[in-house]
């Protein structure tokens, strides 16, 4: 009889703890920026824009200034001599660059793709270009049109987490 009561209690505890609802702050928020949707990691501490600008959004995950953030910004193309897509292709394969300003490609490569290899992430509707800097910050650039691009940067998300962030962006 005691064994039956013990098993019943154990099963009840297991079922109750396994079925608990997640606290509301563990929901992964979806942010719409530059016409794309991004699923962010759960529990951001703050989301803010700079002076109510529609072209910049920062999401903070700690109270420490300048740390643990994901920032989104809409930028003009980097090089006026070619499209953003062509520019990032030139960074990945400089020997095949025929249209872009070689000095602009070299400067960008030195800043963003010097120590760590750059990557192209192919998407259904658009490509994304991943870079990691010497100080371990990670950047993803997404050409939106010939003259506009989206820059995402973070000091704490891993490459895999950034890929996951882009999962719903196409």
Please report the pLDDT score of residue 161 as a whole number: 95
Are β-strands 69-76 and 56-60 bridged in parallel, bridged antiparallel, or unpaired? Answer: antiparallel
Give the DSSP H or E segment for 165.
helix 159-165
Domain that holds residue 30: 25-168
Res. 40: pLDDT tops 70: yes
Asked, for residue 5, whether it belongs to a domain, the answer is no
Residue 90 pLDDT: 94
Cβ atoms of 128 and 107 within 8 Å: the answer is no
Q: Is the pLDDT of residue 20 over 50?
A: no
Q: How far is CA 105 from the centre of its chain?
A: 23
Residues of the chain above pLDDT 70, percent: 83
With 0.85 as the threshold, say if the pTM is over it.
Answer: no
- Is there a domain that residue 20 lies in? no
> Which pairs count as long-range contacts for 133-142, CB under 8 Å and 24+ apart, including other chains?
138/162, 139/112, 140/166, 141/84, 141/88, 142/36, 142/166, 142/169
- Number of domains observed in the structure of the chain: 1
Is residue 77 a part of any domain in this protein? yes
Instruction: Please indicate, yes or no, if residue 143 is contained in any of the structural domains.
Output: yes
Q: Residue 146: what pLDDT?
A: 81
How many residues are recorded in the chain?
170
Question: Which parts of 49-128 fold into alpha helices (H)?
Answer: 84-92, 102-112
Helix, strand, or coil here: 83? coil
Give me the half-sphere count of Cα atoms (radius 13 Å) on the Cβ side of residue 90: 21
Tell me which of 5-19, 131-145, 146-160 is least confident: 5-19
In a domain, 4, yes or no: no
CATH for 37: 3.40.1000
Give the pLDDT score at 115. Answer: 79
Residue 19 lies inside a defined structural domain of this protein: no
> What is the pLDDT averaged over residues 98-118?
89
Coil, helix or strand at residue 13:
helix
Q: Among residues 141, 1, 152, which one has the least CA distance to residue 77? A: 141
60 found inside a domain:
yes
Please write the tens of the pLDDT for every residue from 66-102: 899 999 999 999 999 999 999 999 999 988 888 899 9
**Contact status, residue 105 vs residue 91, Cβ threshold 8 Å:** yes
Q: For residue 150, what are the CA distances in angstroms to 26, 33, 61, 139?
A: 27, 9, 21, 10
Q: Which DSSP helix (H) or strand (E) runs through 14?
A: helix 2-18
| pLDDT band with cut points at 50, 70 and 90 for residue 5 | very low
Q: What is the mean pLDDT of the chain?
A: 83
Measured CA to CA, the distance from residue 105 to residue 142 in angstroms comes to 16
Whether residue 152 is contained in a domain is answered as yes
pLDDT reading at 52 higher than 80: no
């Amino acid at each position: 009889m005691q064994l039956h009561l013990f098993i019943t209690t154990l099963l009840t505890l297991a079922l109750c703890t396994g079925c608990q609802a997640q606290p509301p702050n563990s929901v992964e928020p979806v942010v719409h920026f530059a016409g794309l949707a991004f699923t962010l990691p759960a529990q951001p501490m703050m989301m803010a824009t700079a002076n109510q600008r529609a072209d910049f959004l920062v999401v903070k995950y700690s109270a420490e200034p300048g740390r643990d953030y994901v920032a989104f910004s809409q930028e003009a193309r980097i090089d006026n001599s070619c499209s953003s897509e062509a520019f990032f292709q030139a960074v990945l394969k400089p020997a095949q660059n025929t249209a872009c300003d070689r000095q602009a490609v070299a400067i960008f490569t030195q800043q963003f793709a010097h120590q760590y290899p750059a990557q192209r992430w192919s998407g259904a509707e658009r490509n994304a270009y991943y870079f990691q800097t010497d100080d371990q910050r990670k950047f993803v650039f997404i050409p939106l049109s010939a003259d506009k691009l989206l820059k995402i940067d973070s000091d704490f998300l891993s490459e895999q987490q950034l890929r996951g962030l882009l999962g719903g962006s196409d």
